[in-house]
Structure 1
Amino acid sequence: MISGAHVILYSQDAEADRAFIRDVLAFPGVDAGGGWLVFKLPPAEVAVHPTDGPPQHEFHLMCDDLDSQLGEFRSKGVEITRPVSEQRWGRLTAIRLPSGAELPLYEPLHPLAHGL
């Protein structure tokens, strides 16, 4: 039986991004050995979208109140990299990780599967 999902983010500054996940996002974690941190994620969902291009994967964080979350991030000095856009399925933006990578964030307007 499947017991969970493991998401991998590839980073050009893994230590800084790990510290961001630990200190700014405040995700608890464990040392998987040798200082290799693995973090607990909030409840998750997976969706499969059609594409005409090559297959790819995306990772988005979800929140209940995007405006409040962005205010909290701004107070911690986190860069918001995209203006909030209103989509059919939710309100979308992104934040900057210390490595320079973007991490999308959205407030879903669709029914949620993670509580099933």
Structure 2
Amino acid sequence: MTGTHAILYSTDADADRAFLRDVLGFPHVDAGGGWLIFQLPPAELGVHPAEGGAPSSELYLMCDDLDATLAVLAAKGVHTVGERSEARWGVRAWIPLPSGATLGLYEPRHPVARDLLGP
């Protein structure tokens, strides 16, 4: 395996791409016709049991300091959606995308697999 390719389905793909490019500042390539493919930070994959329903997937962008990340985003006019969630394993919050979808942000409080790559 050489990497992970994640897909966000959007009702306003152009606006969400602009948000990822301009607000979050993700480097990208144009795969043709304005179809942007974004470079993401190193990734890891957790597999959790499906509780009482069909299997599903979630996407979170990890950060070292959720409060600092949220402050930077607030200065850019991006505010959280709903309540932040704290647990012994970490803290989560969600930000809105222009399409109305939400994107999770996550500060883990456990060992992280991304550190296996080294500095």
**Same fold per superposition (TM over 0.5):** yes
Distance 1:9 1:64 in 2: 23
1:85 Cα deviation from its structure 2 partner: 2.0
- TM-score, with structure 1 as normaliser: 0.95
The Cα offsets for residues 41-72 of structure 1, whole Å up to 9 and x where unpaired, read as 00100011111411111100110011111101
Match of 1:104 in 2: 104
Structure 1 residues 1-116: aligned runs within 5 Å: 2-51=1-50, 52-116=52-116
Any gaps of 5 or more consecutive residues in structure 2?
A: none
Output the amino acid matched with 1:37: L
Distance 2:85 2:58 in 1: 18
Please give the secondary structure, in 2, of the residue aligned with 1:18: helix
1:115 Cα deviation from its structure 2 partner: 1.9
Identity of matched residues, %: 61
Please give the secondary structure, in 2, of the residue aligned with 1:114: helix
Distance 1:77 1:28 in 2: 21
Please give the secondary structure, in 2, of the residue aligned with 1:107: strand
Instruction: Please identify, of 82-91 and 106-115, the stretch whose mean Cα deviation from structure 2 is larger.
Output: 82-91
1:88 Cα deviation from its structure 2 partner: 2.0
Any gaps of 5 or more consecutive residues in structure 1?
A: none
The Cα offsets for residues 62-94 of structure 1, whole Å up to 9 and x where unpaired, read as 100111111011100012102222112101111
Instruction: Please identify, of 20-29 and 44-53, the stretch whose mean Cα deviation from structure 2 is larger.
Output: 44-53
Output the amino acid matched with 1:58: E
How many residues align? The count is: 115
What RMSD in Å do the two structures reach over aligned CA positions?
0.9
Relative to its length, the structure with more helix (as a share) is: 2
Please give the secondary structure, in 2, of the residue aligned with 1:95: strand
